[in-house]
Chain A
Amino acid sequence: MTEQKAEEPLNSLKSRSDLPFYTIFIAISTIYVLLIVAMLSAETTYTTPDHIWAAFAKPEIRYAIWLSLVSCAITTVLSLWVSVPIGYLMSRHNFWGKVFIDAILDIPIVLPPLVIGLCLLILFQVELPQIEWLNEMVASESGANVSKEIAVAKTQSIDDLIRKVTKLIFGKPIGVTYEIPSVILAQFMVACAFAVRTMRVTFDQIGPRYEQVAMTLGCNRGQAFWRVVFPQAYRGLLAAGTLAWARALGEFGPILIFSGATRMKTEVLPTTVFLELTVGNIEGAVAASLIMVVSALFVLVIARMFGLTRAVI
């Protein structure tokens, strides 16, 4: 019996070891992962829990938490409502100008956030041409309902018009710029673009065959969508919702410009971090950012857990 000889190359080509390749790749990956972990550990261990609880006791920070949670929830729901139809139409239909629309939908993703805020601010200050019948209706109705006639300006911006109309409807003017609606709109403009992208990929992956079968079984387009496609898109919806929520929570630039940074009015958690830092209160800034870190991790874990269990099935 011959003893097993040491392996020899089968041909003259000698390939080098894989070790340097993996060493470099693993080293680069490790540095980045460690940086993330170190960053989070540094923040969580920076202050004592007492300082953090003290920061939470401040009414401004409580208000910021409340506004962040409410505005992010509204933004998420709005984003899903908008992203589902857009994602579906873009995934299923070819039409003239689709490439152009596709590019427009990506603008909020590539545009610097500050610019989005500035654009929104300017949009709501654009002067509208006078709409005579609307002015007349506002004047007469307000005279009857609010017992004080709303002045009709020669020129008015979109924001002015919204204030007038809301005063007519709710008896109280609700503006957009520098008010709570501006926070939601600023978050929505960015978050929705990400949700649209996610939903489009989701519908692309589901493919048109399910609807086609449903239609041969007796469905119209709407029934095929709601009964067959939409239930299958729940993972995409969850992903889009999570992404929109996370983006909305971290939104700062557009809110600073479009909503301002007024305490107890348009202050969300990123604004708190900014305001607390500018006055030198690092504990406050850390407390606010910790809430965002924990929320982000919580959302990430829930999404992952849900995704994993479904993948196993």
Chain B
Amino acid sequence: MISVNKLCVKVGDFELKDISFEVPEGHYAVLMGKTGSGKTTILETICGLKKVLSGTICLHGKLATHTRPAEREIGYVPQDGVLFHTMTVRDNLSFALELRKWSKQKIDERVEELATLLGITGLLNRTPFGLSGGETQRISLGRALAAKPAILCLDEPLSALDEDTRGEMCTLLSDVQRLTGVTTLHITHNISESDRLGDIKFLIEGGVLKSLTSKVREKRSDLTGKVSQETSSPSDSSTQVKVD
């Protein structure tokens, strides 16, 4: 569970005030907003990468406002993957496990399991140089999930992908979330993505975070119209309606 209450964060001249929302255990939440609206700041604050001025963050029912990033048990997938280039794909996947001092056998089993789940078995022994955007994001997702975190934070993971790969990744994210039951917070500015994946949707606009729904997927069809209306996006019938 992620519970954010009256959060205030300041990064340079940019400031966010009184941000409150909650993502219940095992749900897939999508946070939408224009570029520069502060959605990445919120995600990074939850991950412990930005200092909190005031307010609280509760993770899995425990207060974690000032807990160090390492102790939050959050899997973080940044926008462009940010794979460790000096390591092989296998080492990227086993990075968190080696830090937790897992045995070599258990690490190997877990890496194989992740590689099969994400369809990257053939890439394990190569370095990340020259990988495609989709492969990079799969590995980044695998690295974040390796230590079985209770929470997964995705920062626009599909924004740099082409349409086909994006569709595949959406299916993969949905499957992974269903299989692992990990509480997920996904940031995007793409309505089709949020529509396809999100149980819960939030919109941040003008420094104010609104909950677009607290209902689950059945109501999704009603929401598309609502989101379009609220964000004043063009009523494009394609799936590529962007907020900004």
Residues of chain A at the chain B interface (Cβ within 8 Å): 209-210, 212-220, 223, 227-228, 231-232, 234, 313
Contacts and interface: CB of A to CB of B under 8 A. Distances in A.
A202 B84 CA distance: 16
Contact of B82 (A209, A219, A227, A231): A209
Interface in B125-152: 129, 143-144, 146-147
Given A216-B49, A218-B70, A228-B84, 4 more contacts: A215-B69, A215-B70, A217-B70, A217-B96
A231 B47 contact: no
Contacts of B68: 215, 220
A152 B240 CA distance: 83
23 contacts: A209-B78, A212-B76, A212-B78, A213-B78, A215-B48, A215-B49, A216-B47, A216-B48, A216-B76, A216-B144, A217-B70, A217-B96, A217-B144, A218-B70, A218-B96, A219-B70, A219-B99, A223-B99, A231-B86, A231-B87, A232-B84, A232-B85, A313-B129
Contacts of A220: 68, 70
Contacts of A217: 70, 76, 95-96, 99, 143-144, 146-147
Main secondary structure of the interface of A (DSSP, over half): helix
Given A228-B84, A232-B86, A218 B147 contact: yes
B106 interface: no
Contacts of A210: 82, 84
Contacts of B144: 216-217
A130 B230 CA distance: 76
A212 B147 contact: no
Contacts of A209: 78, 82
A263 B146 CA distance: 63
A227 B49 CA distance: 18
Counting chain B CB atoms within 10 Å of each CB, which of A212, A223, A227, A232 scores highest? Answer: A212
